[in-house]
Amino acid sequence: MTGKQGFCWCFGGSRPPEITIEFGHTLKPMTLDIPMPTDENELNEKFEKLVEELDLDKPHREALFNLPPEKKWQIYCSKKWDEDNPSTATWSDFYIESLKKLSTVCIQFNDEHEASRSKLVENLKTALRTQPMSFVVRFIELNGLQIILDFLSNMDYETTQSSVHTSMIGCIKALMNNSV
């Protein structure tokens, strides 16, 4: 460490750290090739569709619409990039298939498997609260609520005492809090 550089990038180091995920792949910064519209009405129209999809309450909507055009465009492009490059964990179909697999397995799990089941259901609960309305609508169209209810009604005693049970109930709560 040199005298001029901080011990951490966030405290004044020369550049941000390189983020590496498992298996050694380096994450590249997101680049956007979409030029910002020069017409502010066009930008506001695109941004309004995005904000509608987020299903926000009035104060949060107003806060977003009060952002400067550059920030609106950055948010729009970020969401557009997410839609064009979704990770498996954001797909309703992925969760539906995973829940079906959880429902059909009736064996004792070791701690590692139980942790992965718990994490999956916790991630679904988070997705149902934070993903756009299209995700929630698709999840419901694929009978996601019925799959959750079936899972809850058929789970064994061990599972009813686990965090999987609590997270499943959290999924129902998240669905009830949506305005679908």
Summarize pLDDT for 113-150 with one digit per residue, the tens: 778 888 999 999 999 998 888 889 899 999 999 999 99
Q: Is 34 exposed, middle or buried (0-12, 13-18, 19+ CB in 10 A)?
A: exposed
Residue 166 pLDDT greater than 90, yes or no: yes
* pLDDT recorded at residue 140: 92
- Number of C-beta neighbours around residue 147 at 10 A: 20
Domains of the chain by residue range: 36-85, 88-176
Judge if pTM exceeds 0.75: no
d(CA 180, CA 178): 6
Residue 1 pLDDT greater than 50, yes or no: no
- In the predicted model, what is the mean pLDDT of residues 63-73? 89
Q: Crossing angle of helices 133-141/92-104, nearest 10°?
A: 40
* pLDDT recorded at residue 124: 94
Are 53 and 134 within 8 A, CB to CB? yes
Residue 175 half-sphere exposure toward CB, CA atoms < 13 A: 20
Q: Which residue has the tokens 């998240």?
A: 174
pLDDT (tens digit per residue) in 41-53: 888 898 888 888 7
